[in-house]
Amino acid sequence: MKLSSTLRAALAALMAFTGLAFSSAARADSGFVTLTIYKAGWIIGGSGGSGVLTFRGRSYALSTGGLDYGLVFGGSKTVLRGRVSNINRPSDVAGVYGAAGAGLAVGRGARAIVLTNQKGAVLELTGHQVGLMANADLSGLAITMR
């Protein structure tokens, strides 16, 4: 059975597109992130801090900031460390990460979170939180390169 030239061209384009999609996903890399975030609030809260991305043997300074809305009371310092995956360049870690969560920290407590930004970067972080903080809120965290 002979395929028409239009159908052959469409199949060739589809195979090329599929190959491109898989090759760009195969090139995605991972790095290591450390973030220190200070958070305070009463109903509406805010957070800010800094961090470091280590990617392909180089370090990049990061800044964080965000807003929380819901039940937010108190203040805390959170230090998170972990992996960032699905990035092709350091700037892929920059973006807005959203989360809904609840927690209570009196003194020192453990913390773990997985976040994704609009570029597909995935942060898998664990660490500790120190302070007096009770929250059941929606929060957004923006990470920028410095």
The per-residue pLDDT for range 121-133, each reduced to its tens digit, is 999 999 888 888 7
The residue ranking higher by pLDDT, 30 or 18, is 30
27-43: average pLDDT: 91
- When the pLDDT of each residue in the chain is averaged and rounded to a whole number, the result is 81
* Beta carbons of 97 and 123 less than 8 angstroms apart: yes
pLDDT range class, residue 1, cuts 50, 70, 90: very low
Q: How far is CA 78 from CA 20, 65, 112, 130, in A?
A: 40, 13, 11, 6
Torsion of CA 48, 114, 88, 22, to 10 degrees: -160
| Amino acid of residue 137 | D
Residues 52-102 have pLDDT tens digits of 999 999 999 999 998 887 778 899 999 999 999 999 999 999 999 977 666
Q: How many residues does the chain have?
A: 146
Strand ranges (E), the chain:
29-55, 58-87, 95-116, 122-145
Residue 42 binned pLDDT confidence (cut-offs 50, 70, 90): confident
CA pair distance 64, 87, nearest whole angstrom = 18
Give CA–CA dist 4/11, Å, rounded. Answer: 11
